[in-house]
Amino acid sequence: MTSQVVTSSVRAPNADGDPRDWKVIALIGLLHGGSHFYQLVLPSLYLSLNREFGYSFAELGFVATVFFVVSGVGQASSGFVVDHKGARPVLRFGLACMVVSAMLISIADAYWVFILAAFIGGAGNSVFHPVDFSIINQNVSQRRLGHAFSIHGLSGNLGWALAPIFITFFIVQTGSWRVAAGAAAVALLCLFLATFIGASLLATPAAEADKPAPEQVRAAEPGFIHKLRMLLKNPALWGAFLFFAFTSGSMSSVQNFTIPILGSLYGIGKEWASSALSLYMISAGVGLLIGGFLAGSTDRTERIVAGSLATSGVVFILLAMGVLPSGLAIAGLCMAGFLSGMAGPSRDMLVRRVTPKGALGSVYGLVYSGMDVGSALGPVMYGFMLDHQAVRGPWLAAGVALFGAVLAAFWVAYCARRQQDSRPLAQGSTA
């Protein structure tokens, strides 16, 4: 009954020429970019915090682990809240948490304050994928979904790319990492205010529906339990969960430790290494744009995912082994980013193929929590490697993890084909 209430209130798809599609895509892209921007605020401060407080890379990596553990737990559950309450209030909660977290970082004078900031920031980060994909799937026409996924992924990468440059700029100009963190809080506050300016673009049926009658509320609870059990028993979703865990585990080596790795392996200074990290994210964004067109060119999107990620994994291994000359290290990093980005839209279309009706937020929350699992495990493990002079380790692990993601993608595609061949499951396989 719950799924019927949700799906019956979805408005008709936009007309092909309706400009509302692009307004929704643009606003969601801006807000999604802000969430990714925040994820790299703290890693961009690692060297400053190491110098001022003497924290080891493992200790700094643990702060990131707290962030992503909280985000993963919250993401797995927030999808159900989005399905039931609507996306807009959940989105505002997430942005408010990030503003508070960035402000705490700017005034922190003890390790436990950074842990608290990571906890609050992780809670805020947890809502974005269930919120974003619920809004996109319910407010963007079918014809433009591939482009919506592409822009969504691109905006995230641009947010990642902006963070190191933003933080480095304020540190260089003011000489204070605290001012840089405070400036990040102000930027996030502006995004929070944007959710009120563009409120009509963020509406989802659950948020706009009339308050349910008491008998509907009582009936909704069994629906929730049934939905949770159904999703947890779905092997395709576990495959998608593992896919995100592998890819984010690989990505965390780049996000958190590219600057010290480039310095140790290739003798590249902090400023150039920060620029290299931003260039990696920009290259991934370009790949996402191209991937948006490729995603609509075939139903076998797993082939695009596999080819892109496997090649990217090879590049990471070559970089870690020092095969490339120093002058080509940054170019190799950008190539790996481009290939990883190109897989993004095809990945999202693949997940959509195994998403039951009425469970958009729930599914995206559950499978994207795998991203937080990988991001939580990676920083401590990679930080431990760097503390013990195993400088090649993070990028070697990144390459191997991408091959694991390829296997997971093929598993999801196999499960999707089985669902399509089974009539009872096929009726609920398209969101």
pLDDT per position as a tens digit, 294-304:
766 666 777 88
Half-sphere exposure of 241 (CA within 13 A, CB side): 19
Residue 299 CB-density burial (10 A; 0-12 exposed, 13-18 middle, 19+ buried)? middle
Half-sphere exposure of 42 (CA within 13 A, CB side): 32
* Residue 351 pLDDT exceeds 80: no
The kind and range of the H/E element at 178 are helix 177-197
Structure tokens at 372: 């937080």
CA dist., res. 54 & res. 49, Å (int): 7
Q: pTM to 2 decimals? A: 0.68
Q: Tell me the H-state helices in 54-110.
A: 57-85, 87-107
What phi, psi does 212 have (nearest 5°)? -65, 150
What phi, psi does 222 have (nearest 5°)? -60, -35
Residue 392 CB-density burial (10 A; 0-12 exposed, 13-18 middle, 19+ buried)? middle
CA dist., res. 397 & res. 17, Å (int): 46
Q: Can you give the C-alpha Rg of the chain in angstroms?
A: 21
Mean of all residue pLDDT scores within the chain = 79
CA dist., res. 128 & res. 71, Å (int): 10
pLDDT band at 225 (very low <50, low <70, confident <90, very high): low
Average pLDDT of 133-144?
A: 80
pLDDT band at 211 (very low <50, low <70, confident <90, very high): very low
What phi, psi does 391 have (nearest 5°)? -70, -30
* Residue 65 pLDDT exceeds 50: yes
Mean pLDDT lowest among 121-130, 176-185, 252-261, 289-298: 289-298
Task: Output 121 or 346, whichever has higher pLDDT.
Answer: 121
Half-sphere exposure of 76 (CA within 13 A, CB side): 17
Maximum Cα–Cα distance for the chain, whole Å? Answer: 68
Which pLDDT value is given to residue 180?
Answer: 94
**Whether domain 2-7+17-426 has CATH 1.25.40.10:** no
Distance of CA 234 to the CA centre of its chain: 22
* Residue 427 pLDDT exceeds 50: no
CA dist., res. 165 & res. 180, Å (int): 11
240 touches 301 (CB < 8 A): no
257 touches 57 (CB < 8 A): yes
Which pLDDT value is given to residue 372?
Answer: 75
* Local structure of residue 222 (DSSP, 8 states): H
Which pLDDT value is given to residue 5?
Answer: 33
* Local structure of residue 16 (DSSP, 8 states): T
CA dist., res. 88 & res. 154, Å (int): 22
CA dist., res. 230 & res. 239, Å (int): 15
Q: Which residues contact 6 (CB under 8 A, 6 or more apart)?
A: 83, 205, 206, 358
Which pLDDT value is given to residue 266?
Answer: 85
* Local structure of residue 144 (DSSP, 8 states): G
